[in-house]
Amino acid sequence: MILPLSSTELLPKIIMGVDPGTQIMGYAVIEVRGQHVTVLRYDVIDMKKLGTNHALKLKRIYERMTELIEEFLPDELAIEAPFFGVNVQSMLKLGRAQGVAIAACLSRQIPYVEYAPTKVKQSVTGSGNATKEQVAHMLRQTLKLPPIEEAPKFLDATDALAVALCHHYQKGNNVKAGGKSWGKFLADNPGKLAAPVAGKKAVASRKKPAA
């Protein structure tokens, strides 16, 4: 017996996913209604032209995140946790970039959750060791995304999309991800998560009361 979705489950939820970076930062915004996922946008914040001025990069991240928040009014932020690397200075800069993105959301009272890179990969592909290319390939199949012309650039964007989708899965809105159960779900429900990519005005009609 299939139980009908409650009125709460049918309400749209906007999730923003972020893949932190100091040169390229990926971001994605999805809308969730029950089991249905719509990709509103996924792109990157390119900071290469800012050179080595880290302060300017942090300012750019904060400003762009604020613009995205005002445009899409996300309910929650899902952000990838920095992975431990050999270069301590790089780790510190990456942590600052992540912190600025989080601060932009907290300034609008938007809660956030961190996910380890392996958790994100496991949730989306079934393997915690999946490559960026494999993650992007699975997302294109699952969400029916159009071909990506600038693949290297958009691997950061698809990583952010994976973080947002991972967060959706952790809320119990999907069967157990990974392995045979994930493949079986896709086989049994080929159109369950299919969704067209929406434009800038995808959430124009969605309103929230002023804080």
Q: Which residues are catalytic?
A: 19, 80, 156
Judge contact between 20 and 98, C-beta under 8 A. Answer: yes
Q: How far is CA 39 from CA 141, 179, 189, 211, in A?
A: 13, 24, 18, 26
d(CA 29, CA 35): 16
3-class SS of residue 105: helix
Sorted by sequence, the CB contacts under 8 Å of residue 181 that are 6+ apart come out as: 175
d(CA 202, CA 25): 22
d(CA 126, CA 100): 30
